């Protein structure tokens, strides 16, 4: 009988495994970027800043899956292994419905496959607006003040304080967050995260941090009390041989100060029908 093919660990997996073993031995599951750099140098992994970036469950190394641990960021260059993969990652719900979406392919629609391009195409085709607000796509005769406003990607530094279920309270000082895209309509805000391919899960902080950024702004800044609702939308583009599909899932948080209180709102798949 032929030997079973053994899955080879990547160097990134080896770094995470070494980090986990060190933390477990010390019975202290917090670690700093300095330790990450030391282990990367030892193992020969050239990008220490990529080690803790795990945006879906399939990227978790075997040692974390077997022990039911995931990695969270706790600010100031520190991270933590935390028990409960399901608290850090969320599985996409089944798509509730599919819509055929007529569109005319423009010059730059498929020029690149970046996250910003995915969101640009979905926004230019009014898919984001339709999904959240149920509007028509013909805006020529509509007062511009009545259509959603678009705010482009930006990075900002802020401080957060929130709960991680009953397990931990996180305080993050002056951390950098990135908001891929924001739209606003009559006090309702939609924040968007874009991806290519067919991911089956995502890291909740990707949508929670933008959510909390606007939630805090509604409590403390000149926006105080003006934001009615905040929805987080995950957008995935799947490329096919004859057409592309854009899938969207909308979420919010039942307890705005608890990252584990994610709540599914709705989902929809838009099949792009090229009219060129």
Query: What's the pLDDT tens digit per position in 193-228?
Result: 999 889 999 999 999 999 999 999 999 878 899 999
CA dihedral 114, 120, 125, 126 (to 10 degrees): 130
Q: What is the tens place of the pLDDT at every residue in 152-197?
A: 888 888 889 999 888 678 888 888 888 999 999 989 999 999 998 8
List the one residue out of 196, 180, 192 whose CA is nearest residue 245. 196
Asked if 107 and 58 touch (Cβ cutoff 8 Å), the reply is no
Q: Which two tokens stand for residue 6?
A: 């053994």
Sequence-distant (≥ 6) Cβ neighbours of residue 274 within 8 angstroms: 103, 104, 105, 243
Q: Which two tokens stand for residue 231?
A: 């929805």
Q: What is the pLDDT of residue 4?
A: 41
Sequence-distant (≥ 6) Cβ neighbours of residue 81 within 8 angstroms: 19, 20, 23, 29, 31, 64, 69, 70, 71
> Does pTM surpass 0.75?
yes
Q: What is the tens place of the pLDDT at every residue in 103-135?
A: 766 655 555 556 667 888 888 888 998 899 875
Q: Which two tokens stand for residue 224?
A: 């105080």
Bigger pLDDT: 275 or 99? Answer: 99
CA distances from 31 to 42, 77, 96, 169, 253 (A): 17, 9, 41, 17, 28
Q: What is the pLDDT of residue 192?
A: 96
């Amino acid at each position: 009988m032929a030997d079973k093919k053994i899955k080879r660990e990547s160097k990134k997996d080896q770094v995470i495994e070494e980090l986990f073993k060190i933390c477990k031995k010390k019975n202290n599951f917090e670690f700093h970027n300095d330790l990450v750099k030391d282990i990367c140098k030892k193992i020969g992994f050239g990008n220490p800043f990529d080690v803790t970036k795990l945006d879906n469950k399939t990227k978790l190394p075997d040692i974390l899956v077997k022990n039911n641990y995931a990695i969270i960021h706790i600010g100031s260059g520190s991270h933590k292994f935390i028990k409960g993969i399901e608290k850090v990652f969320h599985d996409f719900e089944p798509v509730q419905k599919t819509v055929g979406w007529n569109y005319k392919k423009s010059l730059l629609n498929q020029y690149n496959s970046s996250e910003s391009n995915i969101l640009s195409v979905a926004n230019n085709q009014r898919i984001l607006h339709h999904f959240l607000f149920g509007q028509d796509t013909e805006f020529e005769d509509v007062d511009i003040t009545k259509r959603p406003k678009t705010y482009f990607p930006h990075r900002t530094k802020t401080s957060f304080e929130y709960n991680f279920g009953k397990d931990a309270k996180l305080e993050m000082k002056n951390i950098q967050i990135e908001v891929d895209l924001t739209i606003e309509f009559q006090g309702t805000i939609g924040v968007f995260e874009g991806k290519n391919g067919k991911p089956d899960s995502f890291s909740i902080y990707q949508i929670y941090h933008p959510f909390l950024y606007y939630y805090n702004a509604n409590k403390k800044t000149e926006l105080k009390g003006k934001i009615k609702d905040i929805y987080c939308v995950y957008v995935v583009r799947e490329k096919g041989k004859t057409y592309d599909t854009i899938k969207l899932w909308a979420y919010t948080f039942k307890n705005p100060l608890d990252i584990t209180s994610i709540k599914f709102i709705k989902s929809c798949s838009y099949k792009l029908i090229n009219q060129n």
